[in-house]
Structure 1
Amino acid sequence: MAYNLLKGKRGIIFGALNADSIAWKVAQRAFEEGATFTLTNTGVAMRMGETAQLAEACNTIAIEADATSVEDLENLFKQSMEALGGKIDFVLHSIGMSPNVRKGRHYSDLDYSYLSKTLDVSAVSFHKVLQVARKMDAINQWGSVVALSYVAAQRTFYGYNDMADAKALLESIARSFGYIYGRERNVRINTISQSPTLTTAGSGVKGMDKLMDFSERMAPLGNATGDECADYCISLFSDLTKKVTMQNLFHDGGFSSMGMSMRALTQYEKGLGCDCECGNDEPCGEHIFD
């Protein structure tokens, strides 16, 4: 059901690759709620993905831009304001990528050139988006910027690797820039810490299926889906949340407040002992840090 929450608002949505992307679902909901917006992704992602089809369905355009390039971002905001007929009211940053994860590098053996790429794409790009927008005065008063994060920014999750560092930096940028943009122009900046969600990027995390099962058993309300995350984003883009800023907002069914649930404990008890070929009751050397 649509409520016209974004009627008359203009936006930019980063990262809609295919129907599994949270950004894709946000775009669909924003369109239903009356917003006009542009879509953007890298050239490679646009060629590999289905962004053009989404743009057609939402009666808009897709603009190629590398979010790590200041020049590309300047062009993106310029083209978007021209196409939409004015300044921007909302921005979604849904970008994340780790070459270390893709290459199977362990966190204790990172390739630092890969780490730099992880941080630039997944976090520093958020600062670049905000800095370019501010210098161009591209976002309206009471505009809203949202970036997608994960609880691994606060807690250690095996297999999440250097993406945890990137998410921690992302959330820090939201707070630091949120103060500046809020005082100057009433622009609010928040991050959403979403449940593990099976997107194209998320599927690269080691043990993603087990992580999703664990969080489902832990969270009182179960995992939040991508569609439900889209609904939450819409509320943050709307005027109903005008005084919410500099927050990391957990959208995870209560997972982030849990210590142990009965469902998770019951499953844990079923798996006590080592289940590998060594047959030991205690973790063997191969698994000691898993």
Structure 2
Amino acid sequence: MGLFEGKKGLVLGIANNFSIAWAITQKLHEQGAEMAFTHLPDGERPKNEKKVRKLVEPIGAKFVMPCDVCDDSHIEAVMDKTAAEFGKIDFLLHSIAFAPPADLTGPTYACSRKGFATAMEISAYSLLAVTGAAKKKGILNEGASVLTLSYFGGEEVIPGYNLMGICKAALECEVRYLASELGQDGVRVNAISAGPLKTVSAQGVGDFDQMLSLYAAVSPMRDNIDMDDVGKSGMFLLSDLASGITAEVIHVDKGFSKMGAPPADFADSMKS
């Protein structure tokens, strides 16, 4: 019997098969979870919907529907559908982030007011919006788990991460406040801070290949993580095995974030 047999959840933010949320979803499915999904709304052609459906329908998605997290009516519709299909859920996975490319690729001091507001609304406020809507609807079971995705650039300066680092700092703070406020209902809230992976979001980060080489050279395990690493960690945090863990940002980065200085063999490893 799997860890998620009889458990139901909502996954927001899968973009394609390279999404961290998809890696976690696969592990949840292997453990018996029943899930519903949202996708970024499409224009005239259902490109985003098709990508998500192609992934999740073979694993028995309960439903797939659009959700613009900047529109409260979209969020309310998703929660209404979730309540109608599931009654209550045992987990909510939030994997949503965006910053306008012009504001993300330049220095933070040059970020536009509108770009900052857009990035913060989608990348940070959306966690408050969807979690708050789920609580208001009363669909979170006692013992439910909420998980979001962050990155080390929200704690320290990572050149190229820029505006998104500011958004992730806000997101991680939200995790702590939400955990405090929802804990009395038995709901846990955590984040995974994953090492660099080749996702859609990573395409907007400058010198990404150099970042991969740096992580492999500096991390205690002298390696980068892969999707399987973060998928298993996400599944664990959403499961009852993590029943005593809340308000945490769990680093899944082969130890990179704990290194105060490069290892002794750093220079040699970067030459090879």
Q: What TM-score do you get using the length of structure 2 for normalisation? A: 0.92
Instruction: Return closer, same or farther for 1:188/1:101 CA change in 2, 3 Å cut-off.
Output: farther
Instruction: Return closer, same or farther for 1:56/1:102 CA change in 2, 3 Å cut-off.
Output: farther
Letter aligned with residue 16 of structure 1: I
For these two proteins, the number of residue pairs brought into alignment is: 266
Displacement after TM superposition at 1:59 (Å): 1.1
Structure 1 partner of 2:26: 28
SS in 1 for 2:6: coil
Displacement after TM superposition at 1:137 (Å): 1.2
Structure 2 unmatched runs, 5+: none
1:100-115 to 2 correspondences below 5 Å? 100=101, 104-115=105-116
Structure 2 partner of 1:254: 255
Superposition CA RMSD, Å: 1.8
Displacement after TM superposition at 1:102 (Å): 6.8
Identity of aligned residues (%): 28
Structure 1 partner of 2:143: 142
Contact 2:119 2:164 in 1 (8 A): yes
Structure 1 partner of 2:35: 37
Instruction: Return closer, same or farther for 1:193/1:101 CA change in 2, 3 Å cut-off.
Output: farther
Structure 1 partner of 2:189: 189
Structure 1 unmatched runs, 5+: 272-290
Letter aligned with residue 216 of structure 1: A
Bigger shift: residues 39-48 or 134-143: 39-48
Structure 2 partner of 1:274: none
1:43-192 to 2 correspondences below 5 Å? 43-44=41-42, 47-48=47-48, 50-60=51-61, 61-83=63-85, 85-100=86-101, 104-183=105-184, 185-192=185-192
Instruction: Return closer, same or farther for 1:102/1:33 CA change in 2, 3 Å cut-off.
Output: farther
Letter aligned with residue 71 of structure 1: S
Distance 1:202 1:263 in 2: 27
SS in 1 for 2:251: strand
The structure whose Rg is larger is 1
Q: What TM-score do you get using the length of structure 1 for normalisation? A: 0.87
Structure 2 partner of 1:14: 12
Distance 2:8 2:70 in 1: 23
